[in-house]
Structure 1
Amino acid sequence: MTRDDIISVLGPVDEAVLADIALTGASLGELREAFAWIGADEALVNEGRHLPGARVARLIEILEPPEEDDGPRAPAAGFE
């Protein structure tokens, strides 16, 4: 998959993301599938689609924004 292929699916992205995606060895079709899962995972499951394979799952990991961290957690009562 070329840089232009990746940009055709994702639009402008960071060079590090481009490199990470290229290193997966994924195909353009797998990138498109990962992008679809990010945008509509519940809908795809409801359609009966199979869960993503290993390469698609890795692409999803690369593309998904990190979950927000609520900051440090308070210690449980009695465990300070």
Structure 2
Amino acid sequence: MTDTLTREEVRAVAGPIDDVTIAEIIATGATREELARARAWLENDEAMLNEGRHLASGGRVGALVDILAPQDEVEDPRLPDDPGLTEGPGFPDEPG
């Protein structure tokens, strides 16, 4: 038996994630244990630090945390679906 993660194992540990993210996780060469540690860090990093555990930023667990961490979404305030935008380009009957 090999330590290489399968798609099913990644989903079992990480939950519902997209295929690209699954491929990135598998490409790290991480084990199921490393993926579980990364997930634990994301769910409760303060408790992990209080226990004296430190995240190795250069290791596989750190790479997994980077892959799994939610990315800040930056919204463009000029998009027509912005509730604060009521006139201008992109709206019918409005001058642009």
Given the two structures, how large is their TM-score scaled by the length of structure 2? 0.67
Unaligned runs of 5+ in 1: 72-80
For the pair 1:37 / 2:41, whether they are aligned, the reply is yes
Task: Give percent identity, aligned residues only.
Answer: 45
Matches of 1:46 and 1:2 in 2, distance apart? 32
Secondary structure in 2 aligned to 1:67? coil
Query: For the pair shown, which has the larger CA radius of gyration, 1 or 2?
Result: 2
Cα RMSD over matched residues?
1.8
Structure with more relative contact order (C-alpha pairs < 8 Å, separation 6 or more): 1
Runs of 4+ in structure 1 displaced over 3 angstroms?
68-71
1:22-61 correspondence to structure 2 within 5 Å: 22-52=26-56, 54-61=59-66
- Structure with greater helix share of residues: 1
1:1-80 correspondence to structure 2 within 5 Å: 1-52=5-56, 54-69=59-74
